[in-house]
Amino acid sequence: MNSAKPPLPGLARPWQRIPVDLDDPDIAWVLKLAVSGADGWMLGPQGPLKTQGMTLAEITSGAVHEALLHLLELGLIDVDTDRLRNAHSFPLRRDNQEPAP
């Protein structure tokens, strides 16, 4: 896995995506762990199968929340506080970000 990051985003520099190789077995393993966290929530007592009336947005938010929290608790995600604190805004969609050179 390539861990090189593009420069910090700022007013003059937009966010750039970090290339991710989906064929990398380590990346596949991390994705599987994230999906397991999301599935555990979906099927558990707080999930939509046991809690009636949840909106699609609540279901999506809950699954993503559990998946990321699961990876954070396992220590697989390190929060880049420099990148987080130096950004003036954050792109909300993956498809409108520039790939890193």
32 part of a folded domain: yes
Between these two residues, 71 and 91, which has the higher pLDDT value? 71
Instruction: Establish if 14 belongs to a structural domain.
Output: no
Give the model's pLDDT for residue 72: 96
pLDDT band per the 50, 70, 90 thresholds, residue 2: low
**Could you tell me if residue 67 is inside a domain?**
yes
- In the prediction, which pLDDT does 92 show? 78
Residue-range definition of the domain harbouring residue 72: 21-77
In a domain, 64, yes or no: yes
Number of domains in the chain: 1
- pLDDT tens figures, 27-86: 999 999 999 999 999 999 999 999 989 999 999 999 999 999 999 999 999 998 988 888
Tell whether 87 is covered by a domain: no
Helix (H, G, I), strand (E, B) or coil at 29: helix
Asked if 16 contacts 9 with a C-beta cutoff of 8 angstroms, the reply is: yes
pTM of the entire structure?
0.78
